């Protein structure tokens, strides 16, 4: 591994931890947080581009960040609504009750 690729470890780690959490957490808030982490990984990857690449990567990071934030808020609203109805955010538990 070259020194140049070291700065990619953090975004790659965030992305991997995020994607792992998406599939293995049952808690909906955990899933939302994992999704946010995976977005941070993508944004981190864009920010790690050298400045010689021009301002485009930073603009893309800004846009991806805005979309990620908006979606996380939306997922948060969904979680809040589900919490109000079911008093839990465990996906399996809610699923059982909804299917009845």
Partner 1 sequence: MKDHLPVLLIAVPLAGTWFSLFFGFFSYRLSRWTTYGVLLLDFILVWKTFPKLLAQGPWRYSLGGWAPPWGIELEVSPFSALLAALILLLALIAFYRLGSYGIIAGLLKTREILAGPLLSTLTACLLAVFFVRDGFTLYLFLQMGVVAAAGLLVCLARQGYLDGFYFLLGGSTGASLFLAGIIFLYGATGTLHLDDLLAQLFIAKNFKLVLGAGLLLVSAFGFFLVFPSPFFFKRLLDQTPPFMLGFLSSVMVRTAVFVLFLMLFFTLNVPGLVLPAWLSTAACLTPVLFLGHFLFAARQKDFLHSVAFLSVAQLGYVLIGFILGSKSALTGALMELLSQMLVVMGLFLAVGILSLKPVGAHPFSKLAGVGRHDFSAALFLIIFISSVVGVPPTGGFFGKFYLLQALVEKRNWFLMIPMIFVMIFNLVPAAKFTWLLFEHRKAASFHAPISFASKAPLFLLALAVLLLGLFHQEIIHNFIEPALPKAFLDLPVPNVPFLGKQVE
Interface residues toward partner 1, by CB under 8 A: 15, 19, 22, 28, 31-32, 35, 38-39, 42, 45-46, 49, 53, 56-57, 60, 63-64, 67, 71, 74-75, 78-79, 81-82, 85, 91, 94-95, 98-99
- CA dist 66 and 92 (Å) reads 30
Number of Cβ within 10 Å of residue 46's Cβ equals 20
Q: Nearest distance from residue 1's CB to partner 1, in Å?
A: 16
Task: Between 3 and 71, name the residue whose CB sits nearer to partner 1.
Answer: 71
CB 55 within 8 A of CB 26: no
């Amino acid at each position: 591994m070259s020194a140049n690729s070291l700065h990619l470890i953090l975004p790659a780690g965030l992305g991997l931890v995020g994607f792992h959490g998406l599939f293995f957490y049952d808690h909906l808030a955990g899933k939302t947080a994992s999704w946010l982490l995976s977005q941070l990984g993508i944004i981190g990857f864009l920010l790690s581009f050298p400045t010689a690449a021009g301002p485009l990567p930073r603009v893309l990071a800004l846009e991806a960040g805005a979309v990620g934030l908006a979606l996380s808020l939306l997922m948060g609203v969904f979680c809040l609504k589900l919490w109000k109805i079911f008093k839990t955010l465990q996906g399996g538990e809610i699923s059982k009750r909804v299917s009845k």
